[in-house]
Amino acid sequence: MRALLIEDNVRLGQATMRSLVKAGFAIDLFETIDDGWHAWRSVAYEAVILDIILGQDSGLDLLAKARAAGLRTPVLMLTALGSVDQRVQGLEQGADDYLVKPFAIEELVARLRALGRRPALTAAGVMRYGRLRYDQSGNEISVGEARSPLSRGESIVLERCLRHPERVVSRSQLGESLHSLDQDYTDNSIQMHVHRVRRKMADLGADVTIRALRGLGYMLVRLEGGAAVED
């Protein structure tokens, strides 16, 4: 599970990161709102751990900015404030959970894992991007009236990319999603699934594709008249 930690207390941030890495998480740590915001909108994180007070800045402002931009990454707020009003404000602005400092790292780990198990925010099992429509219950994609079924592996790859459009999804993240559903995977099998999904979208005339970013992973993007980048 890859998570973003935004904490301006250097010692606390480093200690928290070390503990989470030891627990099996991949953590990107940033101390400022600007650096954290740049990372958040660029990388497909599965959770964000956000301090409510970042120096002179407010983590609540960053949360509001992220939600206004359409970022639906689960957010766990860290706060040294025991005020009920403060916690309610965070939840109302889009936080999914909160933890009051000081906290036990075991509780933070448990809460992050619980957030990671929550399903993607979708309406009636349907995900959309551009003209592409993905029916999760039927495991098929469509553009207008044209439809195409997806295999289990193709569905996993597409859903992961649809959760984070315009952001990099690494090969390891795709591999972890495939592995979590008891599918064997290799770099070649991931590439094969991506290629097949890309081809089916193209055959339907979709205005989106999955681009391969060499050395980084994949990104679901809107087409602007150019050809898709192949592996």
For the segment 78-119, what is each residue's pLDDT rounded down to a tens digit? 887 656 666 667 777 778 888 888 889 999 998 898 877 655
Query: What proportion of the chain, given as a percentage, has pLDDT over 70?
Result: 86
Q: Which pLDDT band, with edges at 50, 70 and 90, does 184 fall under?
A: low
What value, to the nearest 5°, has the Cα angle with vertex 109 and ends 105 and 111? 115
* Average pLDDT over every residue of 172-184: 64
Residue 134 shares a structural domain with residue 192: yes
**159 pLDDT above the threshold of 80:** yes
Query: What pLDDT does residue 152 have?
Result: 79
Query: What pLDDT does residue 19 have?
Result: 94
For residue 58, the domain's CATH number is 3.40.50.2300
Residue 106 shares a structural domain with residue 130: no
Q: Under a CB-based contact definition with an 8 Å cutoff, are residues 199 and 159 in contact? A: no
Residue 92 shares a structural domain with residue 174: no
Tell me how far apart the alpha carbons of residues 49 and 105 are, in angstroms, rounded to a whole number: 13
Q: Which pLDDT band, with edges at 50, 70 and 90, does 227 fall under?
A: very low
Query: What pLDDT does residue 81 have?
Result: 63
Residue 217 shares a structural domain with residue 167: yes
pLDDT-wise least confident of 9-13, 110-114, 119-123, 223-227: 119-123
Structural domain range at position 12: 2-117
The residue type at 156: I
**224 pLDDT above the threshold of 80:** no
Tell me how far apart the alpha carbons of residues 7 and 16 are, in angstroms, rounded to a whole number: 9
Query: What proportion of the chain, given as a percentage, has pLDDT over 90?
Result: 37
Q: How far is CA 101 from CA 6, 28, 80, 105, 189, in A?
A: 14, 20, 5, 11, 43
The last residue of one of the domains, among 64, 96, 117, is: 117
Residue 102 shares a structural domain with residue 174: no
Residue 6 shares a structural domain with residue 101: yes
Per residue in 23-47, is it b (16+ CB within 10 Å) or e — as a string?
Answer: bebebbbbbebeebbebbeebbbbb
* Average pLDDT over every residue of 201-212: 95
Residue 186 in tokens: 């290799």
Of 184 and 73, the structure prediction assigns the larger pLDDT to 73
The last residue of one of the domains, among 73, 93, 117, is: 117
pTM, to two decimals: 0.59
The last residue of one of the domains, among 47, 82, 117, is: 117
Query: What pLDDT does residue 49 have?
Result: 95
* Mean pLDDT taken over the chain: 83
Q: Which pLDDT band, with edges at 50, 70 and 90, does 201 fall under?
A: very high
